[in-house]
């Protein structure tokens, strides 16, 4: 939390995106008993995998185990996680006329399993370890709702976005309203900071991001209390960094496609940055991994406000021992002189 506020720390703090995941045996022992969606919706299990990952890795923050997409269910979408296919929405938005059936979340209690998990985690987490909540950014959720699943070119999303700006605005406003309620309810339940994932915005040109996306991301970030740090994470397109900065967030999450030193200069030193080791570095031997972690730390130059993370999430076949070793390396190499 101190790093998120650009305050000095004894060493560089670190947490890992998807730190509770299939690469951990402790996670798989729980996951093998239930479906992915059941794991998300059973607070005691979501709490268990959140807490275990934090403890096993010795990272400096826990992040709530949940998923970006279940918020779409109370908005009228039929969501399923298919083996080998990932999330599938069976009634996606086909055209502008479908926007009318998308309803903002009225009863935030419909997502109560998330907030109960937050309360359970916070009650068992050490007092000095923050709990991070999270949600999808409006563009990423809109893309899922339109594409019905993954996409390579986001053609359906861009067709609606470019072709009917009024319909796009209506959809994005409904998402912002719902996400604002959702993130604030996570905070009320016990999260000390939140990360907003714009995992798919990298497909956009800078001008299109500024016109069709940034106003809504900014509105969502502005809905979070000023004393709760927001990590604004966008991946896939370094050209969007100036607009990502302008969208807001006390912390700007960086992926590995940009040099950290250059990125922080662009963001401005009055804001914190998070990142940005290439996740594939975890396939390297320990000496190479250490050198690559040190290069990221050198880019931060010991400046207050750096949170070490991967440039994206852990992959299922990563070695847990390598992830643990990375955490130890960062704590050792990041010590303030």
Task: Pick the closest to residue 290 from 253, 336, 259, 327 (CA basis).
Answer: 327
Buried b (16+ CB within 10 A) or exposed e, 150-159: ebeebebbbe
Q: Which two structure tokens, joined as six digits, stand for 180?
A: 């604002």
Tell me if residue 67 is catalytic.
yes
Instruction: In whole angstroms, give the CA distance from residue 170 to residue 258.
Output: 33
DSSP 319: -
Q: Catalytic residue, from 23, 54, 60, 67: name it.
A: 67
Q: Catalytic residue, from 27, 60, 122, 144: name it.
A: 144
Instruction: In whole angstroms, give the CA distance from residue 185 to residue 179.
Output: 10
Q: How many CA atoms lie within 13 A of 229 on its CB side?
A: 24
Tell me if residue 209 is catalytic.
no
Which residues partner with 306 through β-bridges? 273
Compute CA 56 distance to the chain's CA centroid, rounded to the nearest angstrom: 21
Tell me if residue 292 is catalytic.
no
Looking up tokens 């359970």 gives 120
Q: Catalytic residue, from 18, 122, 271, 290: name it.
A: 18
Instruction: In whole angstroms, give the CA distance from residue 288 to residue 269.
Output: 29
Q: Catalytic residue, from 23, 27, 31, 216: name it.
A: 31
Residue 55 to residues 60, 86, 121, 156, 253, Cα–Cα distance (Å): 9, 28, 12, 42, 23
In DSSP notation, 40-55 reads HH-HHHHHHHHHHHHH
SS3 136: strand
Task: Pick the closest to residue 172 from 213, 119, 205, 202 (CA basis).
Answer: 213
Q: Catalytic residue, from 5, 22, 119, 211: name it.
A: 22
Task: Pick the closest to residue 271 from 231, 236, 302 (CA basis).
Answer: 231
Asked if 216 and 183 count as a contact pair (C-beta separation under 8 A), the reply is no
| Burial status of residue 194 (CB atoms within 10 A of its CB: 0-12, 13-18, 19 or more) | buried
Instruction: State the catalytic residues.
Output: 18, 22, 31, 67, 144
């Amino acid at each position: 939390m101190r790093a998120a506020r650009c305050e000095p720390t004894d060493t560089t703090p670190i947490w890992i995106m998807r730190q509770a995941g299939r690469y951990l045996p402790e996670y798989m022992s729980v996951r093998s008993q239930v479906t992915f969606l059941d794991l998300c919706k059973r607070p005691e299990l979501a709490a268990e995998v959140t807490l275990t990952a934090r403890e096993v890795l010795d990272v400096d923050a826990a992040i709530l185990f949940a998923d970006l997409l279940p918020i779409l269910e109370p908005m009228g979408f039929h969501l399923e996680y298919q083996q080998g296919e990932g999330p599938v929405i069976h009634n996606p938005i086909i055209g502008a006329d479908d926007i009318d059936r998308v309803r903002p979340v009225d009863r935030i209690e419909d997502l109560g399993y998330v907030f109960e998990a937050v309360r359970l985690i916070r009650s068992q987490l050490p007092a000095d370890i923050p709990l991070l909540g999270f949600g999808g950014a409006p563009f990423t959720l809109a893309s899922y709702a339109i594409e019905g699943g993954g996409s390579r070119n986001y053609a359906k999303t861009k067709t609606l976005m470019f072709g009917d700006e009024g319909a796009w605005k209506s959809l994005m406003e409904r998402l912002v309203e719902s996400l604002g309620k959702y993130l604030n309810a996570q905070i009320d339940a016990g999260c000390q900071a939140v990360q907003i994932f714009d995992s798919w915005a990298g497909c956009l040109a800078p001008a299109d991001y500024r016109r069709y996306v940034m106003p809504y991301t900014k509105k969502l970030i502005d809905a979070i209390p000023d004393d709760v740090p927001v990590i604004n994470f966008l991946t896939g397109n370094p050209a969007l960094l100036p607009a990502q900065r302008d969208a807001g967030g006390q912390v700007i999450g960086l992926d590995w496609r940009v040099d950290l030193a250059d990125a922080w200069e662009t963001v401005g030193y009055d804001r914190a940055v998070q990142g940005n080791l290439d996740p594939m570095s975890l396939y390297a031997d320990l000496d190479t991994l250490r050198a690559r972690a040190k290069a990221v730390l050198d880019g931060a130059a010991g400046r207050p406000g750096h949170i070490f993370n991967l440039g994206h999430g852990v992959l299922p076949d990563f070695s847990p021992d390598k992830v643990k070793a990375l955490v130890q390396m960062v704590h050792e190499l990041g010590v303030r002189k």
